[in-house]
Amino acid sequence: MTDLLKLAIIGSGPAGLSAASRAAMLGMSHILLEKTDHLSDTIFKYQKGKRVLATPERLDLRSDCRFAEGAREVILANWDEDAAQCGVNVAYQADVTGVSGQKGDFTLTTADGRQFRAEHIVLAIGTQGNPNRLRCEGYDLPHIIYQVDDPEDFKDKHITVVGSGDAGIENALGVAEEALENHVTILNRSRDFARAKAKNVSDMMDAADNGLMRVRTETQPKKVEAGWLTLDTPDGEERIPCDVIVARLGSVAPRAFVESMGIEFTGPDREAFPKLSPTFETSVGGIFVIGALAGYPLIKHCMNQGYDVAEFINGNDALTPADEKDLAAIFADLPQKKSVSAWLEYFRQRISIFHDVSPLQMREFMLDSRAAFYAKGEVVFEKGDPGSSLFAIADGFAEVEVAPNVRIPIEQGSIFGEVGLISGRKRGATIVAGVDAIFVEVTRTAALKLMAAVPGAKRAINRISLERQLLQIFKGGLTVQDLSEVVEQAEVMRFPAGKVVVAEGDTGDDIYVIRSGSMVVEKDIGGKPIFLRYLPAGSYFGEMSVLSGAPRNATVKAAVGSEVIKLTGETFRKMLDARPNVRAETEAAMAERASMNAFIESRKASYSSAVDLYSDTASFIMKEGLGEATDALLIDENLCVGCDNCEKACADSHEGLSRLDREAGKSFAHLHVPTSCRHCEHPHCMADCPPNVIHRGPDGEVFMEDGCIGCGNCMRNCPYGVIRMEATPPKKPSLFQWLLFGFGPGPGEPSPSWTKKQLGDEKPKKIAVKCDMCKGISGGPACVRACPTGAAIRVSPEEFLSIARLDGGQG
């Protein structure tokens, strides 16, 4: 048995290394366990020369190891040096497979049978997990790799990619690039490619048709040898030349390993993190979790936590986190003066959705939030403003304007702004401060994290949003009390794009409210489905059957992946019976819709082709995913002369890079949807941004602030392919120098060759680049302003599919 150490740290990434360095500096007996033969494997595996960014800038680094933006080699060399200088004890090739014991005496066992004993354990193992390996003879040969950092590292090689998920296909396409002259084969165990995105599969098939790679289905590796690979194919064994094997077989998430120690997580879903105390201690005393596994993906966070956790374990209770000053800045403008922890506690006590939040989580939410004082009568936001943040009332109360000069109070402890958060649409009502008040504004990202991590908060937000949505939809003096039964019976249902929610002719009297996403209403006229209406989030449907008892008179289906709330017809009718005013108002709204349907039907009889075109155009628009757009660029190809002035204007308004590709994209009836950001209601790009720099701006634009680390998540998450990873090109000579003397590449995005010539050997960092709707430019989006013929327009789906279009043609 070995000596009992004070501290064992698993994982030598930025978090673990920083913790070990601090422990060494404090003179604590420790061991840093690393499963490979070098420190910080994740960064080690980055491609050569890759620039590593140090965001967030505002956060100070607190660590015994150096870290600043720089090339991978420099950072790794610094860390090796710093670890040696601090006197860190590292055990390499120590893949910890088991942990037993309890606080004060844990025993850690590695894969090769070594054992270590420690009083405390710090888990800093990240979230990447271990890649699944091949299960055949020769699985441990060194030419099997598990990721492709830079396809250009491979030239004129026989490469076999095993695994046909998105990662495998993307790697295969990368190395199959014609100029690299590789011989690429991709293997798939089954016949079809069910796990990959349709786009990737079709790109792969195109590449196969063009002779750039071989796609082999129902084929598996049987034996790996240097230079050769034996395959198990439907026709028997086959031996092919193979210099490199890229194995993309998924990975084992570290969660199972963590849970095997008895550590609890915040919830069952993938986004859940281990439950942690303010000192990063898990539900198992003596085991601490820091870094990406704790939910902090950025290097600086990880290093600071490593430092902090070592201090905490060493008994330093007075240490305040490095973000203390950022929190202090958030609270600085509030009228009372309190310490940071006092404010955190104040909000936690007074705001109902924060009750179940742990103090550590509270810090994190507040960093993404803002607390502000509002004087009585001050407007917080106005109806129609874009915004998706959530507000909570810490002190005083707010008033919501339900009708001109009719205001309803929202009490202290409650929330508002939840409609914008959930539906992704513009604010539904104006809110003013009822008295001098303090409101906390939580960003969309932080609010979504809160809902995922704290089930109680999620339930409260959902219920309040449904009640308010119903109050807004059904006029006529409805109160929350009237709705209690309706809300009690309500059920949230998810529908993928294209799925029918209500079919024409069906019986049924449930009524639906669209919570997020959007729906299209179609009616079968003359054997053809005719588009009647686009229903954005916040609208309702199904009311006609409730009121008349007749079967459904139109089909409603999801335009994009959507959530609807089903209210039972029975409770709804009861509510209407109790409130005749509400019934009258609802009937009036229904009559309006019915008359619009009748109008389209009558048009269909007389101007059949016009209605068909309108209907087909609407279907096309929906198929292109514009149902979730808030502001999209469309091009009328009856007017577009192909001058690309839109792209040039875009590039010249934005550091020389165009954010749109005019020519690419689908068209229907000369209406073209170019590759350009649609500023989705629920932006896919925002879903997984480690530095959290994608936000919705004051004009509804989804934009990226500084601080992108170039990870490419947003680019991969965008279903419309509108985000590019590019480096800013060097500055061009002015327009007049070009116009008069021919200096520089002229207007628009400079050609890659010009940029390369200017830069020489310098390789600037590539970051995500996307449309920001010309944020901050008072004239508005440059693409539209720069179109000489009026072909380019920016619209939301509601504007574009309004009935006026059917009536007045293309006005």
Partner 1 sequence: MASLFSRRRNKAAQNSRVREQKHEGFMRYAGFRWAKISGGLTLLVMASYALIDVSPRHNGGSWYGYTLGTMGALLILWLTMLGVRKRRRSDDHWSLKAWTSAHVYLGLSLAVIGTWHSGFQLGWNVHTLAWALMMLVIVSGMYGIAVYALLPRSLSANREEMTQMQMLEALRAFDRQLHGTAQGLAPADAAPVLAALSENPFAGGMAARLSGRYPRCATAEALAQLGQRRGTSEDVEKVVGLLGQKQAALGRLRRHLRLRALLEIWLYVHVPLTFALIAALSAHVISVFFYW
What count of other Cβ atoms lies within 10 Å of the Cβ of residue 100? 11
CB nearer to partner 1: pick between 75 and 791: 791
Please name which of 4, 88, 23 lies closest in space to residue 288, comparing C-alpha atoms.
Answer: 23
Binding mask 774-793 for partner 1 (x = CB under 8 A): ---xxxxxx-xxxxxxxx-x
Q: Pairing relation of β-strands 287-289 and 115-123?
A: parallel
Q: Pairing relation of β-strands 30-33 and 4-10?
A: parallel
Query: Using the rule CB under 8 A, is 648 a contact of partner 1?
Result: yes
CB nearer to partner 1: pick between 185 and 389: 389
Residue selected from 80, 153, 203, 699 as contacting partner 1 according to rule CB under 8 A:
699
Residue selected from 465, 653, 658, 676 as contacting partner 1 according to rule CB under 8 A:
653
**Cα(546)–Cα(213) distance, rounded to whole angstroms?**
58
The HSE-up count of residue 671 (CA atoms within 13 Å, CB side) is: 22
Q: Residues with Cβ < 8 Å from 582, sequence gap 6 or more?
A: 474, 475, 476, 477, 478, 482, 575, 576
Cβ at position 564, least distance to partner 1 in Å:
29
CB nearer to partner 1: pick between 402 and 795: 795
Cβ at position 381, least distance to partner 1 in Å:
9
Q: Pairing relation of β-strands 70-71 and 90-91?
A: unpaired
CB nearer to partner 1: pick between 307 and 374: 374
- Region of 300-308, 310-318, 477-485, 698-706 interacting with partner 1 (CB under 8 A): 698-706
Helix (H) or strand (E) holding 787: none
Cβ at position 434, least distance to partner 1 in Å:
17
Judged by CB under 8 A, the chain residues 663 through 682 that form the site for partner 1 are 663-667, 670, 672
In angstroms, the first-to-last Cα distance of the chain is 86
Cβ at position 777, least distance to partner 1 in Å:
5
Judged by CB under 8 A, the chain residues 178 through 237 that form the site for partner 1 are 209-211
CB nearer to partner 1: pick between 5 and 212: 212
What count of other Cβ atoms lies within 10 Å of the Cβ of residue 647? 22
- Region of 242-250, 297-305, 411-419, 662-670 interacting with partner 1 (CB under 8 A): 662-670
**Cα(779)–Cα(776) distance, rounded to whole angstroms?**
9
CB nearer to partner 1: pick between 515 and 794: 794
Cβ at position 668, least distance to partner 1 in Å:
9
Cβ at position 13, least distance to partner 1 in Å:
27
**Cα(277)–Cα(361) distance, rounded to whole angstroms?**
9
Q: Roughly what angle, to the nearest 10 degrees, separates helices 569-578 and 580-606?
A: 120
Residue selected from 465, 586, 645, 676 as contacting partner 1 according to rule CB under 8 A:
645
Q: Report residue 458: phi and psi, to 5°.
A: -65, -45
Query: Using the rule CB under 8 A, is 751 a contact of partner 1?
Result: no
Q: Pairing relation of β-strands 671-675 and 661-668?
A: antiparallel
3-state per-residue secondary structure call for 289-339: ECHHHHCCCCHHHHHHHHHHHHHHHCCCCCCCCCCHHHHHHHHCCCCCCCC
- Region of 153-161, 284-292, 534-542, 645-653 interacting with partner 1 (CB under 8 A): 645-653
Cβ at position 211, least distance to partner 1 in Å:
6
Cβ at position 617, least distance to partner 1 in Å:
12
**Cα(224)–Cα(221) distance, rounded to whole angstroms?**
7
- Region of 111-119, 539-547, 568-576, 739-747 interacting with partner 1 (CB under 8 A): 739-747
Cβ at position 359, least distance to partner 1 in Å:
23
**Cα(332)–Cα(373) distance, rounded to whole angstroms?**
11
CB nearer to partner 1: pick between 22 and 662: 662
Residue selected from 23, 649, 686, 771 as contacting partner 1 according to rule CB under 8 A:
649
Cβ at position 316, least distance to partner 1 in Å:
31
Q: Roughly what angle, to the nearest 10 degrees, separates helices 198-209 and 166-175?
A: 30
Question: For residues 247 and 258, is the Cβ–Cβ distance under 8 A?
Answer: no
CB nearer to partner 1: pick between 430 and 562: 430
- Compute the Cα dihedral for 136, 140, 141, 145 and give only its sign: positive
Question: For residues 67 and 303, is the Cβ–Cβ distance under 8 A?
Answer: yes
Please name which of 334, 311, 400, 321 lies closest in space to residue 362, comparing C-alpha atoms.
Answer: 321
Query: Using the rule CB under 8 A, is 803 a contact of partner 1?
Result: no
Query: Using the rule CB under 8 A, is 810 a contact of partner 1?
Result: yes
Cβ at position 655, least distance to partner 1 in Å:
12
CB nearer to partner 1: pick between 356 and 401: 401
Cβ at position 474, least distance to partner 1 in Å:
30
- Token digits of residue 770: 């996307």
**Cα(486)–Cα(481) distance, rounded to whole angstroms?**
10
Residue selected from 28, 136, 687, 795 as contacting partner 1 according to rule CB under 8 A:
795
CB nearer to partner 1: pick between 395 and 652: 652
CB nearer to partner 1: pick between 244 and 806: 806
What count of other Cβ atoms lies within 10 Å of the Cβ of residue 97? 14
Report which residue type is found at 39: L
Query: Using the rule CB under 8 A, is 28 a contact of partner 1?
Result: no
Cβ at position 778, least distance to partner 1 in Å:
6
CB nearer to partner 1: pick between 118 and 650: 650
- 468: helix, coil or strand? helix
Cβ at position 278, least distance to partner 1 in Å:
24
Query: Using the rule CB under 8 A, is 334 a contact of partner 1?
Result: no
Query: Using the rule CB under 8 A, is 747 a contact of partner 1?
Result: yes
Report which residue type is found at 126: G
Judged by CB under 8 A, the chain residues 390 through 449 that form the site for partner 1 are 441, 443
Q: Residues with Cβ < 8 Å from 155, sequence gap 6 or more?
A: 180, 181, 182
The alpha carbons of the chain give a radius of gyration, in whole angstroms, of 30
What count of other Cβ atoms lies within 10 Å of the Cβ of residue 39? 24
- Token digits of residue 291: 């870094």
Question: For residues 515 and 421, is the Cβ–Cβ distance under 8 A?
Answer: no
Judged by CB under 8 A, the chain residues 604 through 643 that form the site for partner 1 are 636-642
**Cα(576)–Cα(214) distance, rounded to whole angstroms?**
64
Residue numbers at the binding site for partner 1 (CB under 8 A):
209-211, 368, 370, 372, 389, 441, 443, 636-642, 645, 648-649, 652-653, 661, 663-667, 670, 672, 695-699, 705, 735, 739, 746-747, 777-782, 784-791, 793-795, 799, 810-811
